Amino acid sequence: MYSYGFNNMNILWIRDGKLGHEKQVHALLDEICKTEESNIYERRIKKTSFLSELNPLNKKIRMDCASLASSSIDIVIGAGHGTYSQILTYKKNLSSDPRAIAVLTPSLRKKDFDYICAPYHDHEKLINYENVIFFEGSLSKVSNMSIDDNIGFIGLGGKNNHYVFNENSIFNQIQYIVSLFPDKKWFIFNSRRTPESINLKIKKLISNHPNINFENFNSSITTSYEKILNLASIKIVSPDSVNMVYESLSTMGKSYLFDMESKNPSNKIVNQINKLKNNRQIGYLEESLLVADFQQTKIYSQNEHSDIFAEVEKLAYKLLQKIKK
């Protein structure tokens, strides 16, 4: 454990309500709190227009800054384009002169942030900026929780800009993986992007398989996503959800990717996923057409010696070192 000499670091977290953004900031703040006693204040944005929030005389924020004066804010942080202008407005109006930290990559005013914590796939956009700390993939909480060999996890994304979400192919792969491990208790989690048509197929599937549980995003979920992800000995996730891929890799157990056709082989997200596959940092399924209407599915395991992804730990360490200077 490292200590950087702060006494009760005060952090203002600007939130945009988007799960993918907030999970990453939450993971980073949790890691910071492991080494520094911290007080975290939260504000949720209501507007997402950059220009509407750019004005430093924004009355509401100025009033809020006055109410926060006694808290002596050290850091203002957030992720997502809707938060970045507000982070800078708070920095300008808070008397404590806090550090402004953007998680992910702002489109504008990059030099105005003290630090930008950005994924390495945005390296070319940020190569000329000295205030950037890069990390690989997506920030996720690291879990060393012991796995349960009787539990399997399946995570589905949906329609996206990077991969073709072929419902028939995905459903065939689900059936294949469940048939390989019929004694496991499977938990299938979908997302807001998952087409309803494949949800209906999964509902029919579980009616004949009591060992499969479907945690439908569109109805009341009774089982913790994070708990099952940490416990599962095998996790199968769709590559279109970068957050889910790295959440899986940040836990114990084996991780695999569904086979999905890329829309653009040169896409930065596709390249990132292919790098994981080529380095055997993650396992994957592969479908091939043998004859008309007959698919063969193969499964390739990740390297047994692959370490748990711990990018958030590395980032927190680097960030706190810089803040201390």
Same domain, 165 and 68: no
Q: What per-residue confidence (pLDDT) applies to 5?
A: 46
Domain co-membership, 196 together with 95: no
Query: Do residues 164 and 133 share a domain?
Result: no
* Domain co-membership, 135 together with 178: no
Question: DSSP characters for 39-92?
Answer: EEEEEE-S---HHHHH-TT-HHHHHHHHHTGGG---EEEEESHHHHHHHHHHHH
Q: Please report whether residue 118 resides in a domain.
A: yes
Q: Are residues 290 and 320 in the same domain?
A: no
pLDDT for residue 48: 46
Q: What is the pLDDT of residue 4?
A: 40
Residues 63, 172: one domain?
Answer: no
Q: What does the pLDDT read at residue 304?
A: 79
Would residue 1 count as lying in a domain?
Answer: no
Instruction: Tell me how far apart the alpha carbons of residues 247 and 257 are, in angstroms, rounded to a whole number.
Output: 13
In a domain, 4, yes or no: no
Distance between alpha carbon 255 and the CA centroid of its chain, in Å? 15
My answer on whether 206 and 102 are in the same domain is no
Residues 125 and 163 in one domain: no
Total domain count for the chain? 2
The domain that contains 23 carries what CATH number?
3.40.50.2300
Tell me, yes or no, whether 79 and 174 share the same domain.
no
CATH of the domain at 180: 3.40.50
- Strand order of the β-sheet with 75-79 is 38-44, 9-15, 75-79, 99-103, 115-119, 132-135
Q: Is residue 3 part of a domain?
A: no
Q: Letter for the amino acid at 298?
A: K
Whether 48 is in a domain gets the answer yes
Looking at residue 190, what is its pLDDT? 95
CA dihedral 288, 289, 295, 296 (to 10 degrees): -40
Please, which residues have CB within 8 angstroms of residue 286's CB and are 6 or more apart in sequence? 259, 297, 298, 299, 300
Q: What is the mean pLDDT of each run of 10 residues along the chain (325 residues)?
A: 58 95 96 94 74 60 91 96 94 95 96 97 93 96 95 96 95 94 96 95 93 88 89 97 95 96 93 94 86 72 85 96 87
In a domain, 158, yes or no: yes
Kindly state whether residues 84 and 183 are assigned to the same domain. no
Q: Find, among 274, 287, 279, the residue nearest to 242 by Cα.
A: 274
Residue 306 lies in a domain: no
Structural domain boundaries enclosing 182: 148-300
Same domain, 188 and 257: yes
116 inside domain: yes
* Pair 158, 108 in one domain: no
Of 61, 8, 60, 53, give the one whose Cα is nearest residue 32. 8
